[in-house]
Structure 1
Amino acid sequence: MLSNWIKGLFAPKRPFPPLAPDAPFVALGDIHGRADLLARALDSIKDTQIVCVGDYVDRGDESAEVLRLLHARPDVVCLSGNHEEMMLNFLDHPQKHGPRWLRYGGLQTLASFGVAGASEATTGAALDAIAEQLQNAMGAELVLWLRNRPIFWQSGNVAVVHAAADPASPINLQTAETLHWGHADFETTQRQDDIWVLHGHTIVDAPFADCGRVSIDTGAYATGRLTAAWVSAHNVTFKTV
């Protein structure tokens, strides 16, 4: 595994074809409970398709507001991320998945929905009760909307995903685990199908586009910088909200 990674890292990079979406669009990076930044971004983008890369909840303080804002915008494409996966796993199996989710930002999400009484030390039946409170606070419609988020979106030769993609597999055959959590070869091995992969999940100091990858997670919850990637034929520009 390590030898393959090293080979990929130093392998010569072939010229990658230019971006060629079917139509211009804007992708928004990981929001993580920053409803203020999301609202500002949505207000600033007019007459252009918006695609969000996932991770709407956890870590920031306004996850409930973020979900409600996005739920009210059916014109916005909202992908699922690994934090939505963890949240839904908690609702389905609180005792099994609760401890992990609470450690990775679930406490802030619970607080945003007005659900109190949880801590990282909460276990057992108490987690069942908290999951029920969260389910009730969200409401069936919002929970169903969250469950129905797609795991990728594609326009022309640009695929938008949450975390990464397996470079050896077609985009439509990727697993949710890969698209939500990443892939070991993503950063070192170029795709051979000429598909650009635009993603979030991994925080970068500045967004970039290089060798078929566009990375746009600038850590909004911690840095106060939510990145929007404006993608058009032969070009991508970045704006920070």
Structure 2
Amino acid sequence: MKPIFAVGDVHGEMTLLDELLENWDRERERLLFVGDLIDRGENPAAVLRKVKALSDQTDVIVLKGNHEQMLLDFLENPTEKMHYYLSQGGMETIQSLIADSLDKKMTPEGLAERIKNEASELIDFIRNLPLYYEEGKYVFVHAGVDFSKKDWHDTEERDFFWIREPFLFGKNNTGKVFIFGHTPVQNLHSNGSSGIWVSEDKTRLDIDGGAVFGGELHGVVVEENLITKSFSVKK
């Protein structure tokens, strides 16, 4: 297996992403993002463009997060979904995609149409993102999987990028080690630490350092049977 450099939830933090990627050995390591590139943060559109450009140039794995799905849901049904999407950090994404998005005359439908027209390549990129990536004993996923399924591959699509407690604290009998984001580690550490969280049974590794909330942006290098390096950057 080629070593994988896995990056936690970026949420628009372009400066932190650039800083973290200084640690990526692009000749030796395959780059992977666990999703939630967008919403909130410094410049979500710049992050999307950077990651898409990297994936066009080299073999990069980008997984779909719930925030990518929320953008797609808004574009599909703008009137119904706009209020919720904006409340979840969508405003920063829209503003970074469309320069004059605050024009009060623009309807939700008008905004959605402009995004679809002016950022069509980015939207197509998001739409086609996979839900998980499996390599050897490791599974990379945005939120987790459903351990109640006989085969975790049969997890409902929504759960791959939304699930929390049943995955975080359920019994893992899959024989796999899961590396994921979605749940900020501060919510899992009893002391509120922004360090990487590891489950008691050592089969789940949360790398969402809550960077956009003042925490850290994490990167880990995963090799055949172990995690060999970890990096983190913060504001």
- In structure 2, what is the equivalent of residue 84 of structure 1? 68
Q: Counterparts of 2:155 and 2:101 in 1: how far apart (Å)?
A: 37
Shift of 1:118: 6.8
Q: Counterparts of 1:128 and 1:101 in 2: how far apart (Å)?
A: 14
Matched, 1:226 2:207: no
Q: Deviation digits for residues 184-219 of structure 1, max 9, x if unmatched?
A: 421222221211111101111210333210101011
Matched, 1:116 2:105: no
SS at match of 1:58: coil
- In structure 2, what is the equivalent of residue 163 of structure 1? 143
Q: Counterparts of 1:155 and 1:184 in 2: how far apart (Å)?
A: 24
- In structure 1, what is the equivalent of residue 170 of structure 2? 189
Q: Quote the sequence identity (%).
A: 30
- In structure 1, what is the equivalent of residue 78 of structure 2? 94
Q: Deviation digits for residues 116-151 of structure 1, max 9, x if unmatched?
A: 2279xx9xx81111112222331x222111100000
Q: Deviation digits for residues 142-192 of structure 1, max 9, x if unmatched?
A: 211110000000110110000121123334222221111014421222221
Structure 1 residue ranges, 4+ long, deviating more than 4 angstroms after superposition: none
Shift of 1:115: 4.1
SS at match of 1:44: coil
SS at match of 1:178: helix
Q: Greater CA radius of gyration, 1 or 2?
A: 1
Q: Counterparts of 1:84 and 1:150 in 2: how far apart (Å)?
A: 11
Q: Which runs of 5+ in 1 are unaligned?
A: 1-21
Matched, 1:152 2:132: yes
* AA matched with 1:227: H
TM-score, scaled relative to structure 1: 0.83
- In structure 2, what is the equivalent of residue 42 of structure 1? 21
- In structure 2, what is the equivalent of residue 142 of structure 1? 122
Q: Counterparts of 2:214 and 2:148 in 1: how far apart (Å)?
A: 34
Shift of 1:234: 3.8
SS at match of 2:22: helix
Q: Counterparts of 2:67 and 2:82 in 1: how far apart (Å)?
A: 12
SS at match of 1:228: strand
* AA matched with 1:173: D
SS at match of 1:187: helix
- In structure 1, what is the equivalent of residue 197 of structure 2? 208
**2:53 alignment partner, one of 72, 79, 84:** 72
Q: Counterparts of 2:195 and 2:81 in 1: how far apart (Å)?
A: 33
Q: Which runs of 5+ in 2 are unaligned?
A: 186-193
Contact 1:166–1:183 (CA under 8 A) maintained in structure 2: no
Going from structure 1 to structure 2, the CA distance change for 1:196 and 1:108 (only over 3 Å counts) comes to: same
Contact 1:218–1:227 (CA under 8 A) maintained in structure 2: yes
SS at match of 2:86: helix
Going from structure 1 to structure 2, the CA distance change for 1:199 and 1:185 (only over 3 Å counts) comes to: same
Contact 2:7–2:34 (CA under 8 A) maintained in structure 1: yes
Q: Counterparts of 1:56 and 1:133 in 2: how far apart (Å)?
A: 21
TM-score, scaled relative to structure 2: 0.85
CA RMSD, Structure 1 to Structure 2 (Å):
1.9
Going from structure 1 to structure 2, the CA distance change for 1:99 and 1:43 (only over 3 Å counts) comes to: same
Contact 1:164–1:179 (CA under 8 A) maintained in structure 2: yes
